Amino acid sequence: MPIDAKAADILSRGWYKEKLEPHECEYLLTFREKSSEANLAVSLANRLVHKECSDVGQICAEITTSSGPCPGNCRFCRYAEASYMGKFFDIEDNVLARYAEEIGGFSDVRSIRLTTCADADLGELCRQIGIVRDHAKRGTRIFVNTRDLQADECRRLKEAGAYGAYHSCRIGEGKDTGFKPEKRLETISNLTAAGLQVISGVEPIGPEHSSKEIVEAFYRILDMRCLNAEVYAREPVVGTEFNQYGKLSPARLAQMKAVLTLASSWYNPPARIQYQGTFVSDQNCVIAQYDGKTGKERLEAARRRLFNNGFRRLLKTDDSAVELNLMYLRQTGSV
């Protein structure tokens, strides 16, 4: 069957970096996953990502510094205080230092993200940023993923050595979470005002969410001068009410990422960073959860994923790019 003419026109305009309107994105998402229209969107977005980052992929290692029963009580989260029966966890200083050193073993993990629960102590987080700064490879960018913050708290993170932060106003915020949407957006503004580079997100997407909800969540952050956006599907958690809906299919998620990538192709970020790529960044930047058990294997998997997805080089901590070929995978123990 021929491709829908209206969809082809919208996709073409996205490819040529023209602004797309929200209703046009919603229209593109009316087509079923793996349809001709969806496949074209994915193909164009993939080509655009590779073009914009010059075929250079990057890895971000994520370290959980605190977890446990969380007072945020997000109804989709395994750590919600109302249902989580596990223990509190706070990483030890020597363990955090060791992780930072291990992550820098090949100097090819561009950033480290420290993740906390919603009642994190800011002073403790600032101190942990210092530990990572002292033990990570020189040049490693440090991001945080933590609670809502006041303006002065954001400045403290910047002074401690943070490069940026992940923060999002999630789908269903205030209804499915214990946080006010206004406060989440205010925190993003506070972070950018403090000089921190903000990565925001469109998440957690479930099969029950409408195209309108997803597009609205995306355009909300597109107007806030963030560095990048990540698009995530919700992970089903047994015991939560959202478990019944299951998980969004990989093909549908790829279609959504593609449409949003093309919708923001015109975007000029607040900081021009070499090899940064498109506004929707989680195609050329792989997040690898790092812990003492499987961290090394997850970094190896991240290298393989970028290689398998056609990225020819890998960004290093000094902003140079190493050839991502079979020999490099062997040198790093990734194959």
The first and second tokens of residue 141, run together, are: 């960018």
| Residue-by-residue DSSP string for 234-280 | PPP-TTSGGGGG----HHHHHHHHHHHHHHTTT---SS--TT---SB
- Residue by residue, pLDDT tens for the chain (335 residues) are 789 999 999 999 999 999 999 999 999 999 999 999 999 999 999 999 999 999 999 999 999 999 988 888 898 988 888 878 788 899 999 999 999 999 999 999 999 999 999 999 999 999 999 999 999 999 999 999 999 999 999 999 999 999 999 999 999 999 999 999 999 999 999 999 999 999 999 999 999 999 999 999 999 999 899 999 999 999 999 888 899 999 999 999 999 999 999 999 999 998 888 899 999 998 899 999 999 999 999 999 999 999 999 999 999 999 999 999 999 999 999 99
Neighbours of 296 (CB within 10 A): 18
Measured CA to CA, the distance from residue 39 to residue 11 in angstroms comes to 11
CB 96 within 8 A of CB 132: yes
Closest CA to 74 of 208, 170, 205, 200: 170
The first and second tokens of residue 274, run together, are: 């070499």
The gap between the terminal CA atoms of the chain, to the nearest Å, is 41
Residue 239 confidence (pLDDT)? 84
Residue 176 confidence (pLDDT)? 93
Cβ density class 163-183: b for 16+ within 10 Å, e for less: bbbbbbbbbbbeebbbbeeee
Cβ density class 220-242: b for 16+ within 10 Å, e for less: bbbebbbbbbbbbbbeebeebeb
Residue 122 confidence (pLDDT)? 97
The first and second tokens of residue 14, run together, are: 């996205």
User: Rg for the chain (alpha carbons), in Å?
Assistant: 20
Residue 256 confidence (pLDDT)? 98
Residue 335 confidence (pLDDT)? 97
Residue 257 confidence (pLDDT)? 98
Any idea where the domains of the chain sit in the sequence? 5-331
- What is the residue type of 20? L
Tell me which CATH homologous superfamily contains domain 5-331. Aldolase class I (3.20.20.70)
